[in-house]
Amino acid sequence: MKQPIFAANWKMNHAPADATAFMRAFLAHFGKRQDRSVIFFPPALSFGAVVGALKDRPDIQLGVQNIYWEDKGAFTGENSATIARASGAKYVLVGHSERRHIFGETEEEAGKKVAAATRAGLTPIVCVGETLAQREAGETEQVVLRQLRAALGTVSSADAGNAIIAYEPVWAIGTGKTATPADASAVHQAIGEELRRILDSGSLAVPILYGGSVNRGNAADLLAAPEVDGLLVGGASLDAQGWASIVLT
């Protein structure tokens, strides 16, 4: 039985007071469980409020949505992996499609962020995914595996083995379109094979999450798909009760 991971990417939503109210409502629906992991990615300025709200719930983990790759210095507006770690984060999203496509982040930059996260003791959740045009051109695997190699190529295979991967087709993020469980499984399988090559290991402990318009109606089927180890959820993680029902899938 796999222990599923449920990761909530709040993106640029929930100011501190909303975040606190969300947690109060969510915790009322979600008691402590050993059989699944829950990770929240609040916006940086709401991070402290969520740390406070979760002080009695060490079973729930926290991550940041982004880091800069330098450890400290004159980089106005940025946060480092060391600051994130010291603030209570254990995870960081790297290469999210909104970072790649809205903010122009490159594959090389994703690699630098994985290296910075690893140095600071954060687990990177490396997001990979193809655009609709790339899917229609039959380039899904090529694009996803190239993004994967670029992101993990900056760290040792032992450190790469501590990462988490999220397959998030760009055309499915925030669009209401979802990959079918079979499509997700096929890409997850290709990612798994590439990871075995990168890690030079037959067994694979790196979880591979699916993300892209997951909701209460499709979460169970996606999670039941072979090779899907958890879900990375944006829009449907913003409502406390709705998110609790997905986490309890």
Catalytic residues: 96, 168
Return the DSSP state at 68.
B
- Residue of this chain nearest to ligand PEP (CB atom): 234
Residue 217 beta carbon to ligand PEP: minimum distance, rounded to whole angstroms: 13
User: Is residue 235 within the footprint of ligand PEP (CB under 6 A)?
Assistant: yes
Tokens for 86?
Answer: 């010291």
Indicate the SS3 state at residue 92.
Answer: strand
Tokens for 202?
Answer: 């037959």
Indicate the SS3 state at residue 217.
Answer: coil
Binding track over 82-121 against ligand PEP, x by CB under 6 A? ----------------------------------------
* Cα(67)–Cα(190) distance, integer angstroms: 28
Indicate the SS3 state at residue 128.
Answer: strand
Segments in 30-90 forming alpha helices (H): 47-53, 81-87
User: Is residue 67 within the footprint of ligand PEP (CB under 6 A)?
Assistant: no
Residue 94 beta carbon to ligand PEP: minimum distance, rounded to whole angstroms: 12
User: Is residue 213 within the footprint of ligand PEP (CB under 6 A)?
Assistant: yes
Give the nearer residue to ligand PEP in terms of CB position, either 199 or 228. 228
Give the nearer residue to ligand PEP in terms of CB position, either 40 or 199. 40
Q: Which amino acid is at 229?
A: D
The strand ranges marked E within the chain are 5-9, 37-41, 60-64, 91-94, 123-128, 164-167, 208-211, 230-233
Tell the burial category of 192 from Cβ atoms under 10 Å away from its Cβ (0-12, 13-18, 19+). middle
Q: Which of residues 173-202 bind ligand PEP (CB under 6 A)?
A: 173-174
**Residue span binding ligand PEP (CB under 6 A) among the ranges 23-31, 110-118, 184-192, 227-235:** 227-235
Number of residues that bind ligand PEP (CB under 6 A): 14
Tokens for 88?
Answer: 């209570």
Which of 130, 168, 194, 229: binder of ligand PEP (CB under 6 A)?
A: 168
Residue 211 beta carbon to ligand PEP: minimum distance, rounded to whole angstroms: 3
* Cα(13)–Cα(183) distance, integer angstroms: 30
Residue 41 beta carbon to ligand PEP: minimum distance, rounded to whole angstroms: 9
User: Which residues sit at the interface with ligand PEP, rule CB under 6 A?
Assistant: 9, 11, 168, 173-174, 211-214, 232-236
